[in-house]
Amino acid sequence: MEYDDCILNMTEYISGCKFNQLLIQPSCVPLPLSDDVLKEIVPAAKDFALLNGAGMRYRGRYNPEILEMAPFFLFPSPFPGRDFEFVKELQPHINLLMHKIAHDYDFLHSCLKNTIQVDDFTARLWKIYETVRKEGISQCISLGVFRCDYFYCTLSRSVILFVVEDVTYNICDQRFHEYEIRNQRPEIHVIRRNLTQIGNTAKLTEDKRLIVDDMEIAVVYFRCGYEPNQYPTETEWEARLTIERSKAIKCPSIYYHLAGAKKVQQEMAAPGVLEKYLDPAVAKKVARLFTGLYSLDKGDSGDRAIEMALTSPQNFVLKPQREGGGNNIYGEEIAEVLEKIRDSPEREAFILMDRIRPPVQRNYLLS
C-alpha cells in the first residue's frame, strides 16, 4: 500500500469512528534501522530528551537526587493532516462548550446527582461548588489549560501559585512552565506550595484577595488536587475552599474541574446536549469526535451497558470520576469489577466507554 493511500484510509477510519478495528500505519521512516544507525542516534536522542525536560522521578525508586529519562518513541507518529486541521478548527468551540457547561448548574447537577451519592471525593468537590455558587463568584475570569499550557494577562509584580504534590515526580514539565514564565515575564514571581501548606498559611482578606505567606496570589495553577489521597485531612479541603472563594484566577476553577468529570462527558454525548450550547452545525462536527459513552446508572440502559461490557470487556474502558491517569480499568478486570458492583449503587460512580484503538505502527521505545 502506498503511503498516500494509507493516509486516506486512515482519515476515513478516524472520521468513521471505527475504533475497535485495527489499522496498520506505516512509520514515518523505513524500519528497521541498522544497528550502526541505532548506535549513533539512540544516545543522541536520549541526551536531547534529558536536556529538554523529558525526565521524571519514579515512585517505586524515588530519589530526589536522581532524575531518570521518561520513556519515549524514537520517531513521531504520522497523523492525517485533514483530521488534525479538523480538530484544531473545533478546539475553540470545545473550549466554549466546556466553559458553558461548567457554569450550567442545572446540567451539572443532573449529571452528578447520583454520582455524589456514592463517590465521596466528587461529593466534596460538589460541596465546594455549592458554597462558592451561593456566596457569588469572586473572580469572573477562569483560566483553562486545554492541552496547551499558556498564561495570559498577568499583572506586574503578581504571584502565581503552583499547587503541587508533597513529593513531585513529574517535575520537568512543571519547572519548564515556571522557567518560561520567568523568561518571558521576570517581574512575575512563581511559588510552589502543597495543599497542606496552603491550608496552614492561606488567608482571605475582606475583599477576598488570596494571601499566602504575605504574598497576594494572582493565579493558582493546580498540579495536584485531582485525587482523594491528595486531601488526607480537612486542612487540605479547607485550602481548596479558600482558593475557590478567592479573587485569584484558578486553573482549573471548581466549575471547570467538575465539568471535566467523566459522568459529565458521558452526558454531553447524549442526543440534543451539544445543540444546547453550540451552533447546530458546530455541534454536529463536535459530535463526530465522540466515541461510545454509556451510563451505568441503575435502570435498563445501565443494565444493558453492564451486560455489553461483561460479554466483551476487551472492547471497553471502565472509568471512575478521577483525573490524572492511572485510574481506568481495562480487559478482564472490567468484568471482575462489574460483577462486584452490578447490584450496588457504587456502579453509578463509573461510566463505560468504547475502547479506542489507535493505528499501529512500528517504532523504537527508548527507556
292 known member of a binding site: no
321 known member of a binding site: yes
Report whether 246 contacts 254 (CB < 8 A): no
Q: What's the CA gap between 238 and 210, in Å, rounded?
A: 13
327 known member of a binding site: yes
Q: How far is CA 114 from the centre of its chain?
A: 22
Q: What's the CA gap between 301 and 17, in Å, rounded?
A: 22
Q: Dihedral, CA atoms, 248, 252, 253, 254, nearest 10 degrees?
A: -140
Q: How many helices, marked H, and strands, marked E, lie in the chain?
A: 15, 14
60 known member of a binding site: no
330 known member of a binding site: yes
314 known member of a binding site: no
In the beta sheet, which residues pair with residue 203? 211
| Type of residue numbered 306 | I
> Residue 341: helix, strand or coil by DSSP?
helix
320 known member of a binding site: yes
325 known member of a binding site: yes
Report whether 278 contacts 97 (CB < 8 A): yes
Residues in the chain: 367
DSSP letter for each residue of 63-105? -TT--EEPPEESSPPP--HHHHHHHHHHHHHHHHHHHHHHT-H
328 known member of a binding site: yes
324 known member of a binding site: yes
147 known member of a binding site: no
Report whether 291 contacts 17 (CB < 8 A): yes
Long-range contacts of 275-279 (CB under 8 A, 24+ apart): 276/107, 277/96, 277/97, 277/100, 277/101, 277/104, 278/93, 278/96, 278/97
Q: How far is CA 316 from the centre of its chain?
A: 19
Q: Residues marked as binding for substrate? A: 174
Show binding-site residues for ATP. 262, 319-328, 330, 353-356
Which residues belong to the annotated binding site for Mg(2+)?
A: 323
Cite the annotated binding site by residue number: 174, 262, 319-328, 330, 353-356
